[in-house]
Structure 1
Amino acid sequence: MLKFLGVSRSGYRSFLNRKISSAIQRKEAIKKNIRLIYDASKQNYGAPKITKELRKSGETITERTVGKYMREMGIKAQWIKPFTTTTRDSDFSTELTNILD
């Protein structure tokens, strides 16, 4: 099978024994923290607020990076529609007169 793929035995063995790079480890740790903050906010926080929370905890990261990681994980902040009144208060005090008097 290695011949079919064009890979040497030593190359395959070195691939299996290779350690995960520090950049990938950092990325996975940040993704884990993003998920924790996202779930703690009941899925309401987006990249700006999550970035703020990460910076409070001492992590140096940009909002753009947090947004990229959120897209990779497939999570998105929920947009809550602002409350709008659908009825108008009627002021009948000027229109109504006392007809019993």
Structure 2
Amino acid sequence: GYRSAMRIFRLPEENEFSMHLARMTGEVLILSEPAGAAIVIDGTRRRETTPATLQVAAGKHTISVAKEGYTPHEEEIEVKDSAFVRLSINLGKRGQ
């Protein structure tokens, strides 16, 4: 989505006007134990590893966190416009 904006203009005939709207975004802080886990948001691998604060579009997102030797974790979150979401994940060792 985009942030709403309202402006009133008086333009002479045959003039054009364009306006760019800002996307609605929020921030997600992703923490994991152990740190250094790979982060995937909505199927796209991010270059950052945990811990990381990432800006995402407002809305629902699937967050996946994985580290070699540990059981991966996947969670759905909802981020509201201009909001901050903290996600803290404990990855369990594989085979335990």
Same fold (TM over 0.5): no
Higher helix share: 1
Structure richer in strand, relative to its length: 2
TM-score scaled by length of structure 2: 0.24
Identify which of structures 1 and 2 has the higher relative contact order when contacts are C-alpha pairs closer than 8 Å and 6+ apart. Answer: 2
In our comparison, the structure showing a higher alpha carbon Rg is: 1
